[in-house]
Structure formats: structure tokens, C-alpha cells
Amino acid sequence: MHSTASIVSSPPPPAARTAPEASDVALFVMAAAGVWFVRRALRRRFAKARMSAKD
């Protein structure tokens, strides 16, 4: 019997990356938007608390 390992070729080596994938860019944009949104919400929340504490 012949071994099937000699018939199956190995995959080609990965190509060198020259730029980030679109999913990498999308993930970064979504993370940055999330951080911005949460910071904005917290600034508003604490600004309201400060205003009510002054009254």
C-alpha cells in the first residue's frame, strides 16, 4: 500500500503582510469608538452630579 502522506502536499508558506486586514482596521475603529462613547457618557454623568451637588 502507498502512504497518502507523500501524495498530500504541504500548504505554501504565508505571504508577507504589507498592510493590515480590513477586519483589523474595523476592530480598531470599533474599539476607538467604544472608548470615545463611554468617556463621553461618563463625562456627562459626572457633570450632572457636580451640577446637582452645587445646588
3-state secondary structure of 31: helix
pLDDT tens digit sequence for 3-44: 555 677 888 888 888 889 999 999 999 999 999 999 999 999
Collapsed DSSP state (helix, strand, coil) of residue 17: coil
Tens digit of pLDDT for each residue in 6-16?
677 888 888 88
| Nearest-angstrom CA–CA distance, 19 and 48 | 44
Residue 44 identity (one-letter amino acid): R
Phi, psi of 35 (to 5 degrees): -65, -45
